[in-house]
Amino acid sequence: MIVRFERWGAWVKTETVPALVALDRDGVRALGLDGGAVWREESHEASPPIEVHLAVTSRCGAGCEGCYLDAKADGVEPPKATIERALDALAEAGVFTVAFGGGEPTLRDDLGALAEAARARGLAPVVTTSGLGLGPRKIEQLRAFAQVNVSYDGAAEAYENVRGFDGSAAAETAIAKLAAAGIKVGVNVVLTRKTFAMTKATIRRAASLGATEVQLLRYKPQGRARSLDYLAKRLSAPQAGSLGALLRELAAEHEGRLTVRIDCALVPFLSADPELAARPKDLQRWGVLGCEAGEKLGATRVDGRVAPCSFTAVTALHVEQLASGWSREPSLAPFRAYAAAPPEPCASCTLRDVCKGGCKVVSDYATGGIGPDPECPRVRAHATSAPHAP
């Protein structure tokens, strides 16, 4: 297991039971370890991220109409040595998980070697792929990853609604082939207004093909999705308010067979679920993370520039300076400051410490800056009830 000391104890990444645990100081001492200098210092610098999303190419010919990075067929592919230096930097900073993305990562012929390079540095490599064009040779390259997720928004109509073309057959084939090859495979399901009602069917289909995990994703207004079309694709208020109930049903249906995840941007919607909103300690305990942009999460683009998350603008920080520059990069400060002290209605929300104020990408789209997530049910209710200035 890998241990990274923190002021409050340590992050501990276990392998036999794949998990990342925040252990308090007594727990660390119980392991026979001591935080040494980290525990003695009075530093309040931001710790490095625990997870970094690494764009290994900006090439992708799929042309998804909502691509958040506006990836294109003639995109950039950094040399292998450049990616290896980035992996060195992530390892030096004490990052635990590196999520390879793009563009379409499987377009790289050296993808398997890069995953091995990540493992050699003690990082857990994972990857997301569209599954398009995934033949036997590429599948073999994916064996080096701890997990592979295939973008799968549902059968024909649902897939096409999210991406603008029907690639569902290729995605389904990829899921089945990966599972047959013994590779741990999950699916990423983007939720939109038209596809939300199909979510249960989509997950049943993915599970029948061999997927063991599903991650539900909020559609976000960035890249090619940063347009007026976003307003028609985003979840409706009733759909957002029913997310907690949907998760409860999915957990019951797939218990023990398929793990259900949600992305950070969906966490605000849990505030509409009275039962979950009353259990913030449980959400914290089970590691539910809201907006961790610039805190526990970081991202890098193909030019090596670091961003708070994959959807936000890049900073001046280069990944090769991550260990020394993460805590001091000024562009990250507003994200951290907002999460630490959000205004109402976030300030009095029971889920505040989990949610961290909702998705900043959505607030930036709607208001031009960091603010309360305008699609959060609690924020919607607050806006409706608040007195308006004359």
Q: Which of residues 324-383 bind another protein (CB under 8 A)?
A: none
Tokens of 114: 């890069």
Q: Is 269 in the site for another protein (CB under 8 A)?
A: no
Tokens 């390892």 belong to: 91
Residue 8 φ/ψ, nearest 5 degrees: -90, -5
Q: Is 389 in the site for another protein (CB under 8 A)?
A: no
Tokens of 216: 């539900």
Rank residues 168 and 188 by Cβ distance to another protein and give the closer one. Answer: 188
Angle at 168 between CA 164 and CA 169, to 5 degrees: 135
Q: Rounded to whole angstroms, how far apart are CA atoms 180 and 368?
A: 46
Among 66, 75, 94, 167, binds another protein (CB under 8 A): 94
Could you say which residues in the range 295-324 bind another protein, by CB under 8 A? 296-297, 309-311, 323
Rank residues 44 and 388 by Cβ distance to another protein and give the closer one. Answer: 44
Q: Rounded to whole angstroms, how far apart are CA atoms 26 and 327?
A: 26
Could you give the count of Cα atoms lying within 13 Å of 174 in the half-sphere of its Cβ?
Answer: 27
Rank residues 101 and 371 by Cβ distance to another protein and give the closer one. Answer: 101
CB of 385 to another protein, least distance (A): 28
Q: Is 152 in the site for another protein (CB under 8 A)?
A: no
Q: Is-contact 275 247, C-beta < 8 A? A: no
Binding window for another protein (CB under 8 A); candidates: 99-107, 165-173, 228-236, 372-380: 99-107
Does residue 94 come out as left (phi exceeding 0), alpha (psi in the -120 to 50 range) or beta? Answer: left
Could you say which residues in the range 126-145 bind another protein, by CB under 8 A? 126-128, 145
Among 114, 115, 144, 148, binds another protein (CB under 8 A): 148
CB of 105 to another protein, least distance (A): 8
Q: Is 15 in the site for another protein (CB under 8 A)?
A: yes
Give the total residue count for the chain.
390
CB of 114 to another protein, least distance (A): 13
Residue 11's DSSP bridge partners are 4, 22
Could you say which residues in the range 170-229 bind another protein, by CB under 8 A? 184, 186, 188, 213, 215, 217-218, 220
